Structures are given as structure tokens and as C-alpha cells.
């Protein structure tokens, strides 16, 4: 699936790749280098007392102490805000740190937050086990059930949260409808858009208040950094930035450098991720050993219409179920692949593959796994940027080489 963006005027609206390469950066940089410098400083000095007062009273833009920011980090934040079409971005040490920072800044005792139930299980765990200890209410409703979400809203509700697409089921949210619910009830809305990236979907344009990314994934793109970001309006993110300075959930200068470098190729990489994901999904859908494929670019996916209407592409993550397989037979297929590495995460140039039941839910009870929709025969492949023909051939040999296949399973 590929949706062409609307026509634009190059003179007024830069394209995604131009924004990714140039946004947020000064044209001339320290040392006249084409790349931004890495500032390995924990503290920043002032020439005199007048300079301190200018910083404190006149809001002169500069750094003071490393926990509050870094010049390289500011560049990355501006670039991320431009990519999403937001006013401001606040960078954190990880995606979870970004979520925690946003919720802690926005919610007080007596408030409540409502999640769609396919959101990342650690995000829901933080709310259900930790925010509740401080008197913040937590509710979950079925993903995509907008009537249930609206019915769950009370005067105490202060935040609606969803991912789009979700992981690993790849359910897609109608972000305009989601944003409208929040707007009509005066409730802030958050979309975790890690799986789609701003190349495939820009929720702020649909009226969503906050967009969150685990920048560890597609934004960094090389499996070599941990970072997270929240993007939205400048005024609404002011308290989030201040709380980050107190909590200290800030990344390193080197991480900011790696993220800036990764972002420059984001649109190019996403084109390949989109193409590879669709090619692999189509191959798996036609394979006799595959029971079901979760990929919204396929017409068989229940959220195909929403994805086609709202997204440029569907990314590189593909989830599928092996037909009549137990967890050991499923593990054997994963062990037989030769190109994807076995591991968690997604969005890097290297393909990764995992069995969610083992990798992320091994210590959960069978009942809990069923409630999360994680069967024993589920496989998740995060397609990298290798040649699609090679990924398809590798999956084909793995499905053919394992014992269940040779036994006619």
C-alpha cells in the first residue's frame, strides 16, 4: 500500500527528506563543520553576573547545566518538531521516560487516564501499578471502540492514550475521530506513533495534542541508541520540559548526535521499510503454514481501510500466526531464519524476529497472555532495509526446513 501525499509547492513547503536533512540546524555551525558538534559538557559557564541575569530575566537561549539541556539536543528537538509539524519537542532518555515524564507533568491525584487496551504493556503497567499509587485512576477500553472510550470519560478524565498502529497486532486508529473525542470533552489526547513515524502519519495534523515516539526505533534507525520524544504545542510542553530537568531523564550528547544522523535518512529508510513489510506480509498470507497475518497494508486486515485513508505506508513490522503450531514448533521456525537476528525492538536497518510469548511474555500466566492477545504460535518480524526478495526467500526456507513442515504440518 502506498498513498501519495497531496501536491505541494516546493517554494513554501519542504518535502519530508528536505526537512529530515536540514530542519533545526544552523546553516553555519561551530568550526564551519557541516555536521553539528557534540558538546561533551555537564556545565556551561557565564562570562559575568550580567550574563547570568540576562539568562534568568531575559530568557536568553543558552545552556546552564547538562540536566536541563544540551546544544546538540536542541537541534534534534527542533528537527523532530519540524518532522511532526509541531511547535515543540522534548527529548528523553527513552520512550518510556518520555511517557512517564508527560503523564507525571499532566496528571494529579484524582485525575484519570484512559487507554486503548492494545497499547504497549509497559505503558499500561506504569499507569496501572504505579500512577494508581499516587491516586491517579486508570481505565482500559477495547482498541478501536470509540463509543466505549467516550462513555468511559468522566469529569476526572484528563488524558486519552493510544498507539497507532499498535504492537504487535497493528491495529490502526482513526486519529481524527480519536482527537475529536478529546476535543469535545476537553480531554488531552496522546498518540504513540512509534510504529508509523512522521513519514507515514502525522497525528498533530488531525488535532491530537501530543505525539510520542520511542526514538530508539525508526527515528534512530540503526539499533544503536535509546531515546524518546514528546511533540506538541510549546505552551503545553513547557511543564514537561521543566519536570524533565527535575527528574533527570535526559539522554547523552552522543545519543543526540546519533539520533540527528539517523533522522537525516528517515524518509529513505521508511520507503524501504514500507515496501519490505508489504512484500513479506503478502508472501506470508499466501503460505500454507501461516494461519493469519497482521499487517494493515493487506486487504484482509480489519484496519486496512483506516490505514489506507490515513497513512502513507504501514511500516516494516509484520506479525503472523503459524497454523496448528505449539510454542516449540514456532520457536523452531524463528531459529531457522538466517537473515533476521533474534531480539526485541524494531525499526533498525537490520531485520529482527521474535516470538512475543517467549521474548516479552514468558513470565506471564497463560490467562494473562490470552488477555493480551499473545498466543504461543505468534511470530513478529521487524523488516529492516535488506532486499525484500532475500527476506522472503529466508522466511520460505525457514518455514520449509522445520520439522512440522516436513511432517506435513
The CATH number given to whatever domain includes residue 346 is 3.90.1150.10
Q: What is the pLDDT of residue 6?
A: 47
| Residue that terminates a domain, selected from 263, 290, 312 | 263
Are 409 and 339 spatial neighbours (Cβ–Cβ below 8 Å)?
no
pLDDT one-digit tens code per residue, 159-175: 999 999 999 999 999 99
| 191: nearest Cα among 142, 140, 230 | 230
| 215: nearest Cα among 238, 240, 203, 197 | 197
Q: What is the pLDDT of residue 179?
A: 98
225, 331: one domain: no
| Residue that terminates a domain, selected from 236, 263, 290 | 263
Does the residue 242 lie in any domain? yes
CATH of the domain at 201: 3.40.640.10
Summary count for the chain: helices (H), strands (E):
17, 12
Identify the domain containing residue 292 by its residue range: 267-406
Q: What average pLDDT does this structure show over 46-55?
A: 95
58, 191: one domain: yes
214, 289: one domain: no
Q: What is the pTM of this model?
A: 0.93
324, 388: one domain: yes
Does the residue 7 lie in any domain? no
CA 374 – CA 366 distance, rounded (Å): 9
24, 159: one domain: yes
172, 299: one domain: no
Helices 388-401 and 266-285, interaxial angle, to 10°?
30
298, 166: one domain: no
Residue 360, pLDDT > 50, answer yes
Does the residue 3 lie in any domain? no
286, 257: one domain: no
Q: What average pLDDT does this structure show over 145-150?
A: 98
Does the residue 6 lie in any domain? no
Q: State the chain's mean pLDDT as an integer.
A: 94
Which band of pLDDT confidence, cut at 50, 70 and 90, is reported for residue 9?
Answer: low
Q: What is the pLDDT of residue 402?
A: 74
Active site residues: 67, 120, 192, 217
Does the residue 4 lie in any domain? no
Q: What is the pLDDT of residue 398?
A: 97
pLDDT above 70 covers a percentage of the chain that reads: 96
Are 377 and 402 spatial neighbours (Cβ–Cβ below 8 Å)?
no
Q: What is the pLDDT of residue 59?
A: 81
Q: Say how many C-beta atoms besides its own lie within 10 A of residue 227's C-beta.
A: 29
308, 196: one domain: no
Residue 58, pLDDT > 90, answer no
pLDDT one-digit tens code per residue, 261-310: 999 999 999 999 999 999 999 999 999 999 999 999 999 999 999 999 99
Which band of pLDDT confidence, cut at 50, 70 and 90, is reported for residue 1?
Answer: very low
Specify the higher pLDDT residue, 365 or 2. 365
81, 134: one domain: yes
Does the residue 325 lie in any domain? yes
Q: What share of the chain is helix, strand, coil (3-state, %, to 5)?
A: 45, 15, 40
Residue 408, pLDDT > 80, answer no
pLDDT one-digit tens code per residue, 316-344: 999 999 999 999 999 999 999 999 999 99
Number of domains observed in the structure of the chain:
2
Q: What is the pLDDT of residue 8?
A: 52
Q: What is the pLDDT of residue 2?
A: 42
Residue 27, pLDDT > 90, answer yes
Q: What is the pLDDT of residue 339?
A: 98
156, 205: one domain: yes
- Cα atoms found within 13 Å of the Cα of residue 278, Cβ hemisphere only: 16
Does the residue 53 lie in any domain? yes
| Residue that terminates a domain, selected from 197, 228, 263 | 263
Does the residue 328 lie in any domain? yes
| 376: nearest Cα among 356, 350, 406 | 356
Backbone dihedral region for residue 207 (phi beyond 0: left; psi -120 to 50: alpha; all else: beta)? left
Reduce the DSSP state of residue 33 to 3 states and report it. coil
177, 227: one domain: yes
Q: What is the pLDDT of residue 291?
A: 97
Amino acid at each position: 500500500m502506498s498513498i501519495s501525499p497531496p501536491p505541494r509547492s516546493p517554494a513554501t513547503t519542504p518535502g519530508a527528506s528536505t526537512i529530515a536533512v536540514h530542519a533545526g540546524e544552523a546553516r553555519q555551525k561551530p568550526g564551519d563543520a557541516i555536521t553539528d558538534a557534540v558538546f561533551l559538557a555537564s556545565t556551561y559557564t557565564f562570562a559575568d553576573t550580567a550574563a547570568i541575569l540576562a539568562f534568568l530575566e531575559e530568557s536568553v537561549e543558552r545552556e546552564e547545566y547538562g540536566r536541563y539541556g544540551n546544544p546538540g539536543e536542541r537541534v534534534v528537538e527542533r528537527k523532530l518538531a519540524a518532522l511532526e509539524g509541531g511547535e515543540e519537542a522534548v527529548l528523553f532518555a527513552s520512550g518510556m521516560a518520555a511517557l512517564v515524564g508527560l503523564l507525571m507533568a499532566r496528571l494529579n491525584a484524582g485525575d484519570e487516564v484512559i487507554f486503548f487496551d492494545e497499547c504497549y504493556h509497559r505503558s499500561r503497567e506504569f499507569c496501572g501499578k504505579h500512577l494508581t499509587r499516587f491516586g491517579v485512576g486508570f481505565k482500559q477500553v477495547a482498541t478501536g471502540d470509540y463509543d466505549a472510550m467516550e462513555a468511559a470519560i468522566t469529569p476526572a478524565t484528563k488524558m486519552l492514550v493510544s498507539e497507532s498502529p499498535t504492537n504487535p497486532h497493528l491495529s490502526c486508529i482513526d486519529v481524527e475521530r480519536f482527537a475529536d473525542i478529546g476535543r469535545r470533552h476537553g480531554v488531552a489526547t496522546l498518540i504513540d506513533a512509534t510504529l508509523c513515524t512522521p513519514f507515514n502519519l502525522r497525528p498533530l495534523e488531525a488535532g491530537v495534542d501530543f505525539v510520542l515516539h520511542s526514538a530508539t526505533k525508526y527515528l534512530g534507525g540503526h539499533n544503536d541508541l535509546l531515546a524518546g520524544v514528546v511533540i506538541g504545542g510549546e505552551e503545553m510542553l513547557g511543564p514537561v520540559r521543566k519536570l524533565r530537568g527535575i527528574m533527570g531523564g535526559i539522554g547523552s550528547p552522543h545519543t543526540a548526535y546519533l539520533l540527528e544522523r539517523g533522522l537525516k535518512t528517515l524518509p529513505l529508510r521508511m520507503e524501504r521499510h514500507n515496501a519490505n513489510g508489504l512484500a513479506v506480509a503478502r508472501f506470508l498470507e499466501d503460505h500454507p503454514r501461516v494461519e493469519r497475518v497482521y499487517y494493515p497494508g493487506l486487504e484482509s486486515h480489519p484496519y486496512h481501510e483506516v490505514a489506507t485513508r490515513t497513512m502513507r505506508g504501514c511500516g516494516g513490522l509484520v506479525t503472523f500466526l503459524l497454523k496448528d503450531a505449539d510454542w516449540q514448533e514456532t520457536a523452531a521456525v524463528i531459529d531457522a531464519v538466517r537473515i533476521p537476528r533474534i531480539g526485541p525492538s524494531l525499526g533498525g536497518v537490520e531485520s529482527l524476529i521474535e516470538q512475543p510469548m517467549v521474548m516479552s511474555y514468558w513470565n506471564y500466566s497463560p490467562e494473562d497472555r490470552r488477555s493480551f492477545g499473545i498466543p504461543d504460535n505468534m511470530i513478529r518480524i521487524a523488516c529492516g532495509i535488506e532486499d525484500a526478495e532475500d527476506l522472503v526467500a529466508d522466511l520460505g526456507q525457514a518455514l520449509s526446513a522445520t520439522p512440522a513442515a516436513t511432517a506435513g504440518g
